[in-house]
Amino acid sequence: MASSGGDVPAQIRTSAAVSDLIVAHDGVVTLRTFLLQLDHQRAPWAQQVIEDVLSRVSSAMSVLGVTSGGAAPKGRSPAAGSDAARPQQSVSSCGNKRKQSGSSSRRSHRLCDKKITSTLEDGHVWRKYGQKEIQNSPHPRSYYRCTHKSDQGCGAKRYVQRCDNDPSKHVVTYYGEHTCRDPSTIPLIVPAAAGDHRANNLISFGPANNAAASTVASSSQAYLATMGGSTAAAEQQLSTSWCTSDDVFSSSAGSFMQVDELIGAVVGSAGLISSVADHRGRLGGVAGGGGTASASFPPSPNESLGFVVGSFGSIAGGDDDDGMFALDP
């Protein structure tokens, strides 16, 4: 309060800078991965430049005494998954409405992934289940769980709170791992590490769920078909929708590669992009193959993901195998 008059306290500014640095750092890491994948020719150059930027950012961060929020201590894992298996609640019949709130997952799961973003979009569909005022914080914290917790037992959760010193940004803490199969919660992009060449031209909605990932999920960098029209908005949506809050795409959506860049890359290698569905739900149906558990897509435009997907270029034909298929209206 006292600070309203003149300048912002150095501490505040510092933490704001720290936040920005973290975001920038994550963004560079993401960028590096992309560049190295998309442009093998200039990869060395790109790597050098990025490493340079990265080292400077890192040193700046270390000077300020911070570590990258999402990069290193990539939590997510065991503890998380166990969330679903919380001790059963005995419905103590009547009057007593309180069951028993998953004690096991209360404060026990230390493993988390904290990020600072300017958008709440992260490629997943969340359902808010609570909000609370937090001590020492001017902003309430919102609690979200994956929309598919009920139907698929997905144990992913996230807590969102506005940045104290920069209300335009949110501190998002992720707990748990997505085990759901809804296309809107499946990462569209997976690091090409798998080395599945075909992936470059294919899109598939297979069960990107862990195990099955082998088939499809490996569709690395290609995919993306915009929904005709609203580019700017769509771009933003898209760019954020890729975030899987994991691996490369973790963290700040703001620093993701622009869709058009990707598309450019895709077009370059695949030749053509067939855009698909302007209905999010549609996609679900198609994707699901069986499409049962799909339908729940974000209701609000705000949550809408620029989902997309489609087949690129040549693959279209009918000779798709496995989980791959061409999207034919």
Partner DNA sequence: CTCATTTGACCCCG
Partner DNA sequence: CGGGGTCAAATGAG
- Interaction between residue 94 and DNA (CB under 7 A): no
Counting contacts by CB under 7 A, is residue 128 touching DNA?
yes
Give the contact letters, 46-85, x = binds to DNA (CB under 7 A), - = no: -------------------------------------x--
Instruction: Tell which positions 301-320 bind DNA, by CB under 7 A.
Output: 303
Q: Is the dihedral of CA 320, 325, 326, 329 positive or negative?
A: positive
**103 to 122: interface string for DNA, x by CB under 7 A:** xxxxxx--------------
Please identify which residue in 3, 11, 62, 89 interacts with DNA, judged by CB under 7 A: 89
Tally the residues of the chain.
329
- C-beta of 155 vs 310, nearer to DNA: 155
Among 8, 85, 134, 212, binds DNA (CB under 7 A): 134
Applying CB under 7 A, the site for DNA has a residue count of 36
Choosing from 62, 100, 210, 314, the residue that interacts with DNA (CB under 7 A) is 100
Q: Which stretch binds DNA (CB under 7 A): 40-48, 67-75, 135-143, 258-266?
A: 135-143
Q: Does 168 bind DNA (CB under 7 A)?
A: no
Q: How far apart are the first and last CA of the chain?
A: 59
Residue 159 contacts DNA per CB under 7 A: yes
Least distance between DNA and beta carbon 95 (Å): 9
Q: Does 299 bind DNA (CB under 7 A)?
A: yes
**Among the candidate windows 36-44, 58-66, 102-110, 256-264, which touches DNA by CB under 7 A?**
102-110
Nearest to 311 by CA among 216, 232, 213: 216
Scanning 9-17, 21-29, 129-137, 283-291 for contacts with DNA by CB under 7 A, the matching segment is 129-137
Does 102 sit near DNA (CB under 7 A)? yes
- What's the min distance (Å) between Cβ of 145 and DNA? 7
- HEC string of the chain equals CHHHCCCCCHHHHHHHHHHHHHHHHHHHHHHHHHHHHHCCCCHHHHHHHHHHHHHHHHHHHHHCCCCCCCCCCCCCCHHHHHHHHCCCCCCCCCCCCCCCCCHHHCCCCCCCEEEEECCCCCCCCEEEEEEECCCCCCCCEEEEEECCHHHHCCCCEEEEEECCCCCCCEEEEEECCCCCCCHHHCCCCCCHHHCCHHHHHCCECCCCCHHHHHCCCCCCCCCCCCCCCCHHHHHHHHHHHCCCCCHHHCCCHHHCCCHHHHHHHHHHHHCCECCCCCCHHHHHHHHHCCCCCCCCCCCCCCCCCCCCCCCEHHHHCCCCCCCECCCCC
Exactly one of 97, 168, 195, 229 binds DNA (CB under 7 A); that residue is 97
Nearer to DNA, 62 or 131 (CB): 131
* Nearest approach, Cβ of residue 170 and DNA (Å): 14
> Which chain residues interact with DNA by CB under 7 A?
83, 89, 96-108, 126-132, 134-136, 141-143, 145, 147, 157, 159, 296, 299-300, 303
